[in-house]
Amino acid sequence: MGKPKFPTLHRHLFHTGLLLVAAGLPLSNFLMSLGQILLLISWLVGKQWRHAVTGFFRNPLALSITAIYFLHVVGLIYTTDFHYAADDLRIKLPLLLLPLILTTSPAIENNWFERILHVFICAVLVSCLSSFAAFFWWGPDRVVDVRDLSLYISHIRFALMMCLSVFVIVYFLSRPRTMVAKMLYLTMAGVLIATLFLLESMTGLTVLVLASFFMMLRWVIYRYRGRFRWLYAALAVMCLVLPAWYVVGVVRTYYSMPVDAPDMEHAESQTPRGNPYFHDAANPARENGHPIYMYICYNELEQAWNERALLRIPGQDRKGHDLQMTLIRFLSSKGLRKDSDGVASLTSTEIKAIENGVANAHYLGHANVGSRIERICWEWDRYRTTGEADGHSVSLRLELWKTSSHLIRMSPLFGIGTGDIDQEFRAEFTRMKTTLSPRWQLRRPHNQYISITVTLGVFGLLVFVFGLLYPLSIRIVRPDYLYVAFLVIALLSMINEDTLETQAGVTFFAFFNTLLLFRHKANHTPKPAER
């Protein structure tokens, strides 16, 4: 293919649209939408419709990456809620439009390709710096949830973009650069990784670790032929072993914490003020080894708390949890009794922390990845013993996955249809008598593979997975470093999140899946797939 035949204005629209999408992904849904509109305008004006559409439908690779959208259209045949289905298809429209536009447009020149990547990295860094600015401006005591420091988009989608940006930086570092440029890139990577820790993004950190392990191992096996091959292989394994060792250590410490066993024989029955204590020695729930349901005087607790705090009992903390339960857990974590004296011993800083949803004194001023792992352990213990999952990300997912499994068994082959997932989830919550309160009865399973299976059945899941993996095997494409890194990130993210159910998520996937896959089409000749 020679030089593009687009008129200059149309080509400018095309490039501007790409840059706006790249900049808008971590910063603005409006910019994302505007960029896609400009891409569509440039495509409509600069193309002959019949040849473009015909070429698209003759391209098996293009069809494979848009197959899941067409399958959602087919799912309209057996859906009942067409309003929800239409909205779902609207959100997923980038899965069709971006491949259609980019695969039938002239190839993107390499200098423009690098500009797009640089704009994306810079936009992600702007969002990272905004997160740090918000953290220091608000102060740690006023941050209710560190994930709220992702100011522009969902913290999970933001984490995935940071992960991809790290690998894009590695791509640029592998090319000839000055020492100053390399130091600048390394600084950028450091800011990205630091932001993942600031947000305590377990999804982002897990994806980064697993993707790094895979990409290093792939490089050692298929690319590197030097004398230090086994050394680099060992480094790749260490990328996996060291984080796993840290996680195991935190979990082991959590479960080996000394346990303060309730002694009902000598338990006091009244507070110093003569009010009765409530004791439930059989309940295994603990904070820092101290039993939660011992020495509780609800009347004193409520009265003493309401005299000191802005948020009142009964009510919720700023994370949406029951405020009284947060207070009881916090006092238990300090080994205090849940009465007037216990509340009186709290400092003003601790009062504010409890209002912000901090349920353990150990997390106060020490929020980090380790404490996040401990909170996950606590979530699991609570869900295992009580079945309660409200407001807790891991146990909530387990409850949603259980609900999804019931729906899959109802319609295993072709699913429940494109538009019925909302009403079927609602009905299933009622049938299974879920412990989730209405606020937390979400309508998606937070797992893209499960979501596809619920909606389109096992058949839809197979088509979806085929569309993801087919580009790696087709003979006319060369899956290079950037595309493989992106695909690994996307595949991993879909285990823990409905990546394709939001505007930011679906645009992120469709944009980079198409951009990275077809950037070589100008000079590509058929040859065996490069591994």
Do 453 and 356 share a structural domain?
no
Do 29 and 129 share a structural domain?
yes
* Amino acid occupying residue 98: L
User: Which of helix, strand or coil describes residue 125?
Assistant: helix
* Residue 453 within any structural domain of the chain: yes
Number of domains in the chain: 2
- The torsion of the CA quartet 54, 55, 58, 64, rounded to 10 degrees, works out to -110
* Residue 488 within any structural domain of the chain: yes
Do 314 and 232 share a structural domain?
no
**pLDDT value at residue 474:** 67
What CA–CA distance (Å, rounded) separates 350 from 352? 5
Query: Is the separation of the CB atoms in 373 and 250 below 8 Å?
Result: yes
**pLDDT value at residue 339:** 93
* Residue 412 within any structural domain of the chain: no
Q: 347, 363, 379 — which closes off a domain? A: 363
Do 189 and 135 share a structural domain?
yes
Do 174 and 110 share a structural domain?
yes
* Residue 280 within any structural domain of the chain: no
509 CB-near residues (< 8 Å, 6+ apart): 95, 490, 499, 500
* Token pair in block for residue 67: 């197959």
DSSP string, 231-261: HHHHHHHHHHHHHHHHHHHHHHHHHTSPP--
Q: Which domain holds residue 465?
A: 8-249+442-518
DSSP string, 375-391: HHHHHHHHHHHH---TT
User: Which of helix, strand or coil describes residue 107?
Assistant: coil
* Residue 378 within any structural domain of the chain: no
Sign of torsion over alpha carbons 244, 246, 251, 253: positive
Which of 362, 372, 366 lies closest to 257 in space, CA to CA? Answer: 362
Write phi, then psi, for 29 (nearest 5 degrees): -65, -30
Q: 313, 345, 363 — which closes off a domain? A: 363
* Residue 338 within any structural domain of the chain: yes
Instruction: List the beta strands (DSSP E) in 189-324.
Output: 286-287, 290-291
Per-residue pLDDT of the chain (531 residues; tens, 9 = 90+): 444 444 577 788 999 999 999 999 999 999 999 999 999 998 888 766 667 788 888 888 889 999 999 999 999 999 998 999 999 999 999 999 999 999 888 889 899 999 999 999 999 999 999 999 988 887 666 676 788 888 899 999 999 999 999 999 999 998 888 899 999 999 999 999 999 999 989 999 999 999 999 998 888 887 767 677 788 888 889 989 999 999 999 999 888 877 777 777 778 889 999 999 999 888 888 888 888 999 999 999 999 999 999 999 989 888 888 899 999 999 999 999 999 999 999 999 899 989 988 888 888 765 578 888 988 998 888 888 878 888 788 889 999 999 999 999 999 999 999 988 989 998 998 898 888 888 888 878 999 999 999 999 999 999 999 999 988 776 444 568 899 999 999 999 999 999 999 999 999 999 999 999 888 654 343 343 343
Do 74 and 22 share a structural domain?
yes
Do 297 and 243 share a structural domain?
no
Query: Is the separation of the CB atoms in 342 and 313 below 8 Å?
Result: no
What CA–CA distance (Å, rounded) separates 220 from 198? 32
pLDDT tens, 5-23? 445 777 889 999 999 999 9
Do 162 and 306 share a structural domain?
no
What CA–CA distance (Å, rounded) separates 65 from 88? 18
* Residue 265 within any structural domain of the chain: no
The distance from CA 244 to its chain's CA centroid, rounded to whole angstroms, is 20
* Residue 197 within any structural domain of the chain: yes
pLDDT tens, 361-420? 888 765 578 888 988 998 888 888 878 888 788 889 999 999 999 999 999 999 999 988
Do 206 and 294 share a structural domain?
no
Query: Is the separation of the CB atoms in 324 and 310 below 8 Å?
Result: no
- Whole-structure pTM over 0.85, yes or no? yes
DSSP 142: G
Looking at the chain, the number of H-run helices and the number of E-run strands are: 21, 2
Q: 297, 331, 363 — which closes off a domain? A: 363
